[in-house]
Structure 1
Amino acid sequence: MLGFAVLLPWNSMITAIPFFLERLSGSALRSLFSSYFSAIYQLASFVALAHASYTAATASKSRRITVSHAVLTVTLGSLFISTLIPSAPLPYFCFALAMGATQAIAGSYLLTSVVSYTSYFGAMAMQSMMSGQAAVAVIVSIVQLIITLSTSSRKPSGDHRPPKSGPARSPISKSATYFFLIATFGLSFSYMAYRRLTRMPLFRKTVAKFEGAKISAVAAQYAALPEDDPTAPLTAGIDSEDEEDGALLAMSASVGSLRDQERTPETQAHANHDLERDTAREGAAESEPSASISFWKVWWTNAMYNVSVMIIYIVTLALFPAVTAAVRSVRPDAKPQVFTAVHFLVYNSSDWFGRFICSFRIFQIWSRKKLMALSVSRIVFVVLFLACNVNLSATPPETGTDPALRSLHTKPEGSSGDVPLINSDAAFFALLAAFGVSNGWLTSLIMMAAPSLEHNKRMRKEWVDVAAVATSFSLATGLVLGSIANFGIRGIACGCNPLVH
């Protein structure tokens, strides 16, 4: 549920792009909105994520999750109300950008805190969180496809005057109202689920364990924290036999496997030999202040994992969605808007499937060298997608999906040109599915392996949460670099200056 909440705001804003453009009808700001929104959102997200990652070791994760949920709920609620109130283009332009930047900042702090907590509960808990993120994109893609199908039969109107206020509202406006309302309630349910989680004794014990303190020491160390903070001491004593209690075992299933439950028979044999060493580390962690944990030291320890996930998203953002959505059907009777909407659904569903299969041992890879090799191998998708029916020569019809699509150019109807090397819609969608599966699969494996005490022999217990945050920061860095690389890929595809055309 927390993974669902992390990407819900971004996907909500993307889905509402057609509504924002409708509200800016008749204004010169209409053609600028998507570019400004994308740039401001990514910049705000990257800066906030950099600060959140660097301070993750010393900040209160519970407070960040609470404040982030509150801010995101207020912004989504404000957007819901804005769909019911008419406004001039300029004020609404500024309002929408401000809401986007605020959500980007709050979402970054929420992401680092959720990833930190998730890392305490092992690789399978991380896999569940990653799958939750991808599930949001699938739901949004389905909504996009439904909206596109419902509006594609209408002929475009040349009248771009602002919609008049009154009882009659456009289907796009109604869809935005319902979607923002659902998103607001979704975030509220996410926070209630989080509060329920923090009251579980097993959650409190596990968090205290990985914060490097025993239950008796936690009471003194965190006496000043709010009573409902999950890192605060338990008000009631926890019996040493709690782990054998049936209720706690049920709780364990709901929050993910603990490190001890993750151990395989082979590694369990070494656990007793490492007990004395781990005890010494815990004692050192209790006396060592959290501020002494260097973010960059942890990053370099996991450099191969971090560089791998960076490469994954450089390749992904260099192609998706700006280049992949420029691919047009080889069938002359196909509708570009519907084809593009289906393309988003195929990619997002494949990405979710790639994350889902990580829960099966047969698909799990823990070797940093193998993960690096597989990440680099995805560069081949650049050549394969450019061999498809990519059209970047003229202004396309509005698709109402991602901001990057607004800058794409497609070949005019009936124009002639060379037959693409991959001249098949089925082949394109199969390639897109492989692209999505590899993205979700490798991303989840790296996020699972990097902070794992079980599978990453370089990891130390006191580094677990910082390692998870460092990998998330590397992922975000890949997103930014991939967005920049996209200009070069588009320049190759169209043979033009991508900054102008």
Structure 2
Amino acid sequence: MLDYGERGGDADHHVEWNQHSSLGAGGRIAVLITFLVLGAAVLLPFNTLITPTEYYRSILSSSHAATNFMSWVLLVFNAGTIIFGAHAVVSLHKTTPAQRIYFASTSIFLGLLLYTFFTTRSSAEADGKIQDLYFALLILVTFSVAASTAYLQNAVVSLCSIFGGRAMGVMLTGQGVIGVAISFVQLVAAYGNSRLPPKGTHGGVPPATPPPPGSMQPGGEEAASRAATIFFASSTFFVALSIAAFIWLARSKVYRDTCRGYEVATQSSGVREASLEPMTQVKPAFLSSFVEKLPPAARANAHQILDVQSKVLVRATCILVNFAITLSVFPALTARVRSTAPRDQQWATPLVFIALHFLILNSADLLGRMAPMVRGCLIRSEKLTVLGTALRIVFIPLFFACNIHLDGPGPKGALPDWAFFTILFFFGLSNGLVATSIFIVGPASSKLTSDSERAMAGAVLSFWLTLGLAVGSIGSFAITAMI
């Protein structure tokens, strides 16, 4: 039984698109598949950038960023999404979801295409200065892709807030699907391109002189580069597919009829002024005081943003904390975990083991995102949402108890591989369940009385999500410093 948390009151409007006369059974499925693809496209850039940790490690081995490159990638990406995500929220009324989706997805396509080109060039043998330059280019493109992702996420979440809980649930499931798909492609590529450590004279025992801590085995740089090229190219192709899918949806009659009342591109001054009066009591007071100093044109929009935020503040805070916990350890810490099994087993080599850990976490996250579809699994209560978010902190010390040492089997008492994967599974499951419940229940709140407010609620929650990612990426520096 499905439970998408459709809102009360005028809930019929939310399912109206599903009952549209122009849609048959095939058309309804096609619309849902399009939202699935759009959700995948939103999370695709982030997953693509953080997955090839061994590739980054190989091309930046002599760079000043060799020890904390992933924390820098996370920080720059999330800083970009915050900066441009904030602008996306305040300028939501100046454009349409379609315009933003077209522009942002095209920019992401070009950015990932450039990444694909990067992976065909190796800097593993270059000196530190060349690798520092390579790292600077990596960060520059990361920031550009992050900006485009911020606008794409804002537009897609706002659009789903108008279409309703079913569209939102499917879109969020799509995000989980792309995480699993990318991880699977990476695992296959890593397994096919990995090489076992050179065998010594004692049946699989590594040679007497091991490679430096954290370095790759001979030939590992080339294998990591080939694996990265495969999934970067696959990601670029998928973005092109998502653009084509949205073109179909945007040209459909059901899209035009469902979005007709939204009118985000142009709102009459009469409507803006009429909506201003009930928003003047927005808390906290110092923000309202600041807003009153803005020009009249910006004041009404700022009041609406603050008013909507006050209605979803608890869940917005939870979405921030949820992703801050996740990003503080994944992948900056979890990608440092090494198998406790002998390295002469191919699945236990760092390249394959790390790819496997991405697949397990993203698969669990997908299950968590799908769980609210089952009646009784959607977290509607604010108190339960707060509790579920806070309990996720326990995962941090559990990951520290795993084998996080890059050079060797790790200390005695380190948790075995099965324990690491079990912790990772529940870590991903809880992340997906909490996040999806917030995004479904939040915009469906009875406190929100119009499509404009529901779209704004989705955009506000989306922005707080990016704040959580940024807080987590900053926290990852502190987490890895504790190793």
Tell whether the structures are fold-level matches, with TM greater than 0.5.
Answer: yes
2:369 equivalent in structure 1? 355
1:466 equivalent in structure 2? 456
Residues 192 and 286 of structure 1: CA distance in aligned 2, closer, same or farther (over 3 Å):
farther
CA contact (8 A) 2:183 2:359 kept: yes
1:249 equivalent in structure 2? none
Secondary structure of the equivalent of 2:446?
Answer: coil
Structure 2 residue corresponding to 1:380, chosen from 390, 394, 419: 394
Secondary structure of the equivalent of 1:459?
Answer: coil
Structure 2 residue corresponding to 1:457, chosen from 417, 432, 446: 446
Structure 1 residue corresponding to 2:46, chosen from 10, 15, 27: 10
Cα displacement string for residues 187-245 of structure 1 (whole angstroms, at most 9, x for unaligned residues): 11111111111111111111122348xxxxx9xx699xxxxxxxxxxxxxxxxxxxxxx
Q: State how far apart, in whole Å, the 1-side matches of 2:53 and 2:396 are.
A: 27
Residues 30 and 292 of structure 1: CA distance in aligned 2, closer, same or farther (over 3 Å):
closer
Structure 2 residue corresponding to 1:189, chosen from 221, 228, 241: 241
Cα displacement string for residues 440-476 of structure 1 (whole angstroms, at most 9, x for unaligned residues): 0111011001111xxx121121301110011111112
2:19 equivalent in structure 1? none
CA contact (8 A) 1:9 1:72 kept: yes
Q: State how far apart, in whole Å, the 1-side matches of 2:103 and 2:425 are.
A: 37
Structure 1 residue corresponding to 2:423, chosen from 410, 431, 444: 431
Q: 5+ residue gaps in structure 2?
A: 1-36, 124-129, 199-209, 279-296
Residues 488 and 73 of structure 1: CA distance in aligned 2, closer, same or farther (over 3 Å):
closer
Q: State how far apart, in whole Å, the 1-side matches of 2:390 and 2:318 are.
A: 8
Are 2:134 and 1:92 equivalent residues in the alignment? Answer: yes
Q: State how far apart, in whole Å, the 1-side matches of 2:316 and 2:43 are.
A: 21
Secondary structure of the equivalent of 1:364?
Answer: coil
CA contact (8 A) 2:157 2:458 kept: yes
Q: State how far apart, in whole Å, the 1-side matches of 2:396 and 2:68 are.
A: 28
Shift of 1:177: 3.4
CA contact (8 A) 1:138 1:349 kept: yes
Structure 2 residue corresponding to 1:314, chosen from 308, 311, 324: 324
Shift of 1:373: 2.3
Q: State how far apart, in whole Å, the 2-side matches of 1:148 and 1:38 are.
A: 22
Shift of 1:303: 0.9
Q: State how far apart, in whole Å, the 1-side matches of 2:476 and 2:62 are.
A: 30
Are 2:262 and 1:210 equivalent residues in the alignment? Answer: yes
Give the structure-1-normalised TM-score.
0.69
- Give the 5 Å matches for 1:268-279: none
Residues 442 and 154 of structure 1: CA distance in aligned 2, closer, same or farther (over 3 Å):
same
Shift of 1:351: 0.2
1:54 equivalent in structure 2? 90
Amino acid at match of 1:447: F
Cα displacement string for residues 7-66 of structure 1 (whole angstroms, at most 9, x for unaligned residues): 222222234454455455666565565454333222222211122123223333222211
CA contact (8 A) 1:310 1:474 kept: yes
CA contact (8 A) 2:75 2:474 kept: no
Are 2:134 and 1:145 equivalent residues in the alignment? Answer: no
Shift of 1:433: 1.4
Structure 2 residue corresponding to 1:291, chosen from 289, 294, 301: 301
State the percentage of identical aligned residues. Answer: 30
1:63 equivalent in structure 2? 99
Amino acid at match of 1:128: V
Q: CA RMSD in A?
A: 3.5
- Give the 5 Å matches for 1:325-344: 325-331=335-341, 335=348, 337=350, 338-344=352-358
Shift of 1:311: 2.2
1:300 equivalent in structure 2? 310
CA contact (8 A) 2:324 2:472 kept: yes
Secondary structure of the equivalent of 1:379?
Answer: helix
Cα displacement string for residues 356-393 of structure 1 (whole angstroms, at most 9, x for unaligned residues): 1222223223222222222223233335444x33445x
Amino acid at match of 1:477: L
Give the structure-2-normalised TM-score.
0.72
Q: State how far apart, in whole Å, the 1-side matches of 2:312 and 2:89 are.
A: 15
User: Number of aligned pairs?
Assistant: 396
Structure 2 residue corresponding to 1:128, chosen from 157, 166, 170: 170
Residues 58 and 368 of structure 1: CA distance in aligned 2, closer, same or farther (over 3 Å):
farther
Q: State how far apart, in whole Å, the 1-side matches of 2:106 and 2:470 are.
A: 27
Deviates more, 1:127-136 or 1:26-35: 26-35
Q: 5+ residue gaps in structure 1?
A: 164-168, 213-217, 224-280, 398-411, 491-496
CA contact (8 A) 2:403 2:411 kept: no
CA contact (8 A) 2:39 2:173 kept: yes
Cα displacement string for residues 235-271 of structure 1 (whole angstroms, at most 9, x for unaligned residues): xxxxxxxxxxxxxxxxxxxxxxxxxxxxxxxxxxxxx
2:360 equivalent in structure 1? 346
Amino acid at match of 2:194: T
Amino acid at match of 1:63: Q
Amino acid at match of 1:389: C
Q: State how far apart, in whole Å, the 1-side matches of 2:106 and 2:114 are.
A: 12
Structure 1 residue corresponding to 2:158, chosen from 116, 129, 133: 116
Residues 74 and 433 of structure 1: CA distance in aligned 2, closer, same or farther (over 3 Å):
same
Q: State how far apart, in whole Å, the 2-side matches of 1:341 and 1:79 are.
A: 19
Q: State how far apart, in whole Å, the 1-side matches of 2:225 and 2:256 are.
A: 44
Secondary structure of the equivalent of 1:57?
Answer: helix
Q: State how far apart, in whole Å, the 1-side matches of 2:357 and 2:116 are.
A: 28
Are 2:146 and 1:104 equivalent residues in the alignment? Answer: yes
Shift of 1:93: 3.2
CA contact (8 A) 1:313 1:478 kept: yes
1:41 equivalent in structure 2? 77
Shift of 1:347: 0.9
Q: State how far apart, in whole Å, the 1-side matches of 2:119 and 2:479 are.
A: 37
CA contact (8 A) 2:113 2:236 kept: yes
Q: State how far apart, in whole Å, the 1-side matches of 2:227 and 2:397 are.
A: 38
Shift of 1:89: 4.1
Q: State how far apart, in whole Å, the 2-side matches of 1:73 and 1:351 are.
A: 25
CA contact (8 A) 1:115 1:469 kept: yes
Secondary structure of the equivalent of 2:94?
Answer: coil
Residues 25 and 282 of structure 1: CA distance in aligned 2, closer, same or farther (over 3 Å):
closer
Cα displacement string for residues 328-378 of structure 1 (whole angstroms, at most 9, x for unaligned residues): 545456736144332221111000111112222232232222222222232
Are 2:436 and 1:481 equivalent residues in the alignment? Answer: no
Deviates more, 1:194-203 or 1:23-32: 23-32
Amino acid at match of 2:255: F
Deviates more, 1:145-154 or 1:340-349: 145-154
Q: State how far apart, in whole Å, the 2-side matches of 1:372 and 1:27 are.
A: 41
